[in-house]
């Protein structure tokens, strides 16, 4: 598995994780990286891992992601322009579709994104018409509830 970006807590850092069996074939200098080995970045990476463990942020992301998807799926059942809500942890996609044809609706997705950004919520579009949510690991239930309420009002406004 390879990882990077957030691992360094803002510093350039990448890593790869292998099984013990794979690790035994590596020898000194078999691997190099443009984003690995910097002592300051490595210290930041260790501090990031320690914080993730101490604050149990991985577990929290799983709980809050489930909560957010449940709330969004409940909301989606009332709005035919929402095709599917899917994700893992706090990496969530909301597919926006045409009401009758159920085909992707890029223009509506753009409109929803614009209105949500105007209201202070950052989200992105992935693929033709899926809204991509990547909230911070420290998100709380009240933040989720506020987002879902705002998202519902935007859906009502545009349909």
Residue pLDDT, tens place only, 24-83:
998 877 777 665 668 998 899 999 999 999 999 999 999 999 999 999 999 999 999 999
Taking residues 113-137, report their average pLDDT: 96
Give residue 142's pLDDT: 98
- Using CA atoms, how far residue 62 sits from 37, 69, 76, in Å, is 30, 11, 21
Among 25-34, 86-95, 97-106, the minimum mean pLDDT is found in: 25-34
User: Given this structure, which CATH class describes domain 57-158?
Assistant: alpha beta
Domain with CATH 3.90.1150.10 in the chain: 57-158
């Amino acid at each position: 598995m390879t990882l990077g970006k957030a691992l360094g807590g803002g510093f350039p850092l990448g890593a790869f994780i292998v099984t013990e069996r794979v690790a035994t074939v590596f020898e000194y200098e078999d691997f190099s990286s443009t984003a690995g080995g910097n002592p300051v970045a490595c210290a930041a990476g260790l501090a990031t891992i320690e914080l993730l463990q101490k604050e149990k942020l991985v577990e929290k992301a799983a709980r809050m992601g489930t909560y957010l998807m449940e709330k969004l799926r409940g909301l989606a059942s009332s709005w035919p322009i929402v095709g599917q809500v899917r994700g893992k942890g706090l990496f969530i996609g909301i597919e926006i579709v045409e009401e009758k044809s159920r085909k992707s609706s890029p223009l509506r997705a753009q409109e929803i994104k614009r209105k949500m950004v105007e209201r202070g919520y950052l989200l992105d579009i992935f693929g033709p018409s899926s809204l991509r949510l990547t909230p911070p690991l420290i998100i709380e239930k009240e933040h989720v509830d506020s987002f879902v309420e705002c998202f519902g009002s935007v859906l009502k406004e545009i349909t």
